[in-house]
Structure 1
Amino acid sequence: MDVRKLRYFTVLAEEKHFGRAAKKLSLSQPPLSYAIKQLESELDARLFTRNTRAVELTPAGLALRNEAFALLRRIDEIKRQVRSVADGQAGVLRVGFGGSMLYRGLPDILADFSKKLPLIDIKLREMGSVDQIEAIQRDEIDLGFIHGHETPAGLDGFRYHAEPFVACLPATHRLAKQKRIKLAQLAQDDFVLFQRRGSPAYYESIIGTCLAAGFAPRVRHEVAIWLSVVSLVASGTGVALVPRSLRNSALAGAVFIPIDQTGILSETHCVWKPERLVDAGLANAIGLIRARASGRGKPQR
């Protein structure tokens, strides 16, 4: 059976007249009669009884009618779905992100997707920057939000967000009530760092900034998640330098204080594999993210 013959059959089943059915199908009666005969031959069943005035469905025809209508509806649904995917309005989008993106606009991005691309199924995976890059290269995710100062070689992308680092101190720290501090004032403190494996750019930036301030930080702990950094600081384990947006975590026991003259920025890049842009859904998603990034303005120090 082919779809054309099924459509002819359903129209004839509704009209119960070859002339009216042919007119509705915009064809002459002989091709319609021939198609119905072919269908009956393929099914080895008589579908209609015919007389000079009308046609009636046989029991076999009645059985086929119900199934044919359901099948044709499903075929139409599949066509719409395929067109939606081809147009980038439907499909699956796998997004990698670091935990700090929860405070850097990821919820707003998801709200944009829900409003403007409601048929795209978003799959989130929390991962470190290095893991995201590897996952993109292996086609395990479609795009990622990674930390660093540039788009990695072999990928396309743009800077989504930039902000200064601030000092994260326990609320009981001797400097906790200061409005601003100098980084050198933390030279004798233990540090909690975001681990090198998760984001080499962050690790090296923080170490380099401390060295430029005249001391090598005494690293006591390295952790994989920014909230773990803040949690350890809140418990009094040490101090840290964290992206300013981590203030929005509102974690009890931690305070966030601007640092004078560090010049260190926390940057997030949206990245993807360039050859994947043939996927219209990915291209549409990147367009929404880029539009939101352009509205965020320049980083304030």
Structure 2
Amino acid sequence: MAGYALGVLSLELVQSFVTVAEELNFGRAAERLNVTQPPLSRRIQQLERDLGVELFVRSHRGVTLTPAGEAFLGDARRLLALAEEARATVRRVPGGEVGTVSVGFTAATAYEFLADLLRLAADRLPGVQLVLREMVTGAQLQALHQNSLDLGLIRPPARGSDLTSLPVASEPMLAAVPSGCELAGSAELSVRDFDGRPLVMFDPAGARYFHDLALAAFRSAGVTPEIRQYVTQIHTALALVGAEVGLALVPQAARALRFEGVTLLPVGDLAGFPAELEVCWRPDRINPARDRLIALLTDRVLFTD
């Protein structure tokens, strides 16, 4: 914007300038703006004082732009366009059409559910930016309690009276078996096939949800595997299964990892022990874009058993 001094400008003055510049006639410009000519002339004079330059050459033959006026015209049109865009954006915020949502997710969520969520949000809420934060469920709950996270994708249950949660996905647990094991050729396993066999188990502290889920399934069937190692991550469990350390129970999303030397099989009597996913948030944290995203999640199950 060289050639003139730019301070704080009134959009009304800028609009008046652009209209006069397009008409090159104060009378016609005044008609377009629905004002009389004297107030319009005063607006242009005020703008010229604010900018410190003359924008028009006035003569008995008419009005023409000065070099400074010609330079300012393009910038003035961009200012008006930006102002209109800003007005439109602000009007869309209360309805959740635009905004930013910070979303916590666990590593296992990223294998299938998160990708589907991102595609859904991009298609249905293109004006909403998702800021992703990989966090275990406990860390997500803490961030939600501290009001530093908009939305959590957690393993149940959500703990805290200040939180609300809803189920959004469910997937079966699968048996991860070394491909060289005799069980790998089966079409389907039973929980009883784990009895007395070496097991890669999820850690009760670092992966409590999957630990408790597997433990409940084993106890329900009355089987006692031989725990060889504890892990916190699904990919670590699969790596140890591939190294023939033992069997493991993993969520269906583990199929996306395609570990060499590992065969994933359904477990017929595990129907009552699915891995569930919930969306969790603080209702007192106001974010219309988050609420629109929650509505999408609860209206559509992105993967199920």
Normalising by the smaller structure, the TM-score range is 0.7 to 0.9
Query: Which segments of 5 or more consecutive residues in structure 2 lack a partner in the other structure?
Result: 1-8
Partner SS, residue 77 of structure 1: helix
- Structure 1's unaligned 5+ residue stretches are none
Per-residue deviation, 1:20? 0.4
Moved more, 22-31 or 177-186: 177-186
User: Structure 2: which amino acid aligns with 1:42?
Assistant: D
Match of 1:80 in 2: 88
Normalising by structure 1, report the TM-score: 0.85
1:20-169 paired onto structure 2 within 5 Å = 20-52=28-60, 54-148=62-156, 150-153=157-160, 154-169=162-177
Q: Structure 1: how far apart are the matches of 2:109 and 2:217? A: 23
Alpha-carbon distance change, 140 to 238 in structure 1, aligned in 2, over 3 angstroms: farther
1:236 counterpart = 2:244: yes
Alignment of 1:8 with 2:16, yes or no, is: yes
3-state SS, counterpart of residue 257 of structure 1: strand
Preserved contact between residue 170 and residue 303 of structure 2 (Cα < 8 Å): no
Among 226, 230, 252, the residue aligned to 2:234: 226
Residue 269, structure 1, aligned to residue 262, structure 2: no
Describe the superposition over 1:115-155 as per-residue Cα deviations: whole angstroms up to 9, x where unpaired.
2222333333332211222233344442222112x333222
Aligned partner (choices 163, 186, 191) of residue 194 of structure 2: 186
Aligned CA distance change for structure 1 residues 63 and 163 (closer, same or farther; 3 Å): closer
Deviations 1:210-231 (A, max 9, x none): 2343355543333332122122
Asked whether the 8 Å contact 1:18–1:29 carries over to 2, the reply is yes
Among all aligned residue pairs of Structure 1 and Structure 2, give the percentage whose two residues are the same amino acid: 31
Q: Distance in 2 between matches of 1:264 and 1:10?
A: 68
Decide whether the 8 Å contact of 1:129 with 1:199 is kept in 2.
no
CA distance in 2 between counterparts of 1:230 and 1:139 reads 35
What is the deviation of 1:6? Answer: 1.0
Look up the SS of the partner of 1:175 in the other structure: helix
Mark the CA change 1:285 to 1:177 in structure 2 (over 3 Å): closer, same or farther.
Answer: same
Count of matched residue positions in the alignment of Structure 1 and Structure 2: 295
**Do structure 1's residue 288 and structure 2's residue 286 form an aligned pair?**
no
SS of alignment partner, residue 80 of structure 1: helix
Contact 2:191 2:223 in 1 (8 A): no
Paired residue type of 1:92: T
Distance 1:224 1:17, change over 3 A: same
Change (3 A) 1:265 1:66: closer
How has the CA–CA distance of structure 1 residues 198 and 55 changed in structure 2, closer, same or farther, with 3 Å as cutoff? farther
Q: Distance in 2 between matches of 1:41 and 1:24?
A: 24
- Between the aligned partners of 1:202 and 1:39, the Cα distance in structure 2 is 68
Q: Deviations over 1:188-235 (max 9, x none)?
A: 233223333444232222223323433555433333321221222122
Aligned equivalents of 1:44, 1:253: Cα separation in 2: 76
- Conserved 8 A contact 1:17-1:53: no
Per the alignment, residue 6 of structure 2 pairs with none
